[in-house]
Amino acid sequence: MFTYEQIRQMNDLEIMIYNYVISNGEEVAGMTIRELAQQLHVSSTTILRFCAKVGCEGYSEFKYRLRTFLKEKQTADTEVDYTFIQDFFARVKDSDLNESIHRVAEIVYRKERVFFIGIGTSGTLGKYGARYLSNLGKSSFYLDDPFHPTENGNYDDTVVVALSVSGEQRFLYKQIDGLKKGKATIVSITNTKQCTLASISDYNIAYYIPMRVLAGGYNVTSSIPVVYILEKLAHEVHRLLEEQEG
């Protein structure tokens, strides 16, 4: 229902609306524009601008398309449409994504310590990223406890790679705050740049794919772009290490 270009061009308020619609589609489909505006503490005009941004002429058309989208999703059995992955890889070479990865790789290469952090599935990906990077010659570690005290440390020669799909994982904020106070460099990998985690990071890599949230709030957004970013980052660092040795 939402394309890469539509998501990428959204501002902070529109991303907030987008996230709410994705997570509460059935509820939104039955709301009036005033009810949705009150729920999100925005104006009806903001909702209408959002509708226009996603190609709808008004709120009525938006709700019709949302209901159609939800109905198609319910009748599609358990198969997932992965055409957005094809779109992701088609635009990788033509976007600034690889440039962002290269920039971060140079930072990781220069720093003495590399930490990965994340919660849930993002935490699992953080473990994978740390191991993959270590396998390619750059020793890295995953911090598996978001409540591990980070205050009063010296992290001047440390880079932290924080992973979160939504970029709104509040359990990471205190940990990152302590690391930043210790002068760590913070890199975030998120679905969009319009999120809290990206705003408090020194560098952000955003991949922009449609979010998928099941009933109960379970986020099952594809991790394929994140794996690509982690592996591409590791190989870029490995290349820099080889150039240093050679």
Instruction: Pick 225 or 211 by higher pLDDT.
Output: 225
Task: Determine how β-strand 141-142 pairs with β-strand 158-163.
Answer: unpaired
Q: Report CA 173 to chain centroid distance, whole Å.
A: 15
Shared domain check, 51 and 161: no
CA distance 237 to 65: 44
Show which of 15, 42, 74 is a domain's final residue: 74
**pTM for the full predicted model:** 0.75
Show which of 28, 48, 74 is a domain's final residue: 74
Show which of 24, 46, 74 is a domain's final residue: 74
pLDDT of residue 115: 97
Shared domain check, 54 and 98: no
Assess whether pLDDT exceeds 90 at residue 3.
no
Assess whether pLDDT exceeds 80 at residue 73.
no
Shared domain check, 48 and 123: no
Mean pLDDT of the chain: 88
Count other C-beta atoms under 10 Å from residue 183's C-beta: 12
Question: What is the span of the domain harbouring residue 29?
Answer: 4-74
pLDDT of residue 77: 44
Handedness of CA 228, 230, 231, 234 (dihedral sign): positive
Taking phi first (over 0 means left), then psi (-120 to 50 degrees means alpha), and beta for anything else, what does residue 77 get? left
Shared domain check, 43 and 163: no
Instruction: Pick 19 or 214 by higher pLDDT.
Output: 19
Looking at the 3D structure of the chain, how many domains does it have? 2
Stretch 37-54: mean pLDDT, rounded?
A: 93
- Of 63-67, 128-132, 149-153, least confident by mean pLDDT is 149-153
Q: How confident is the model at residue 145 (pLDDT cuts 50, 70, 90)?
A: confident
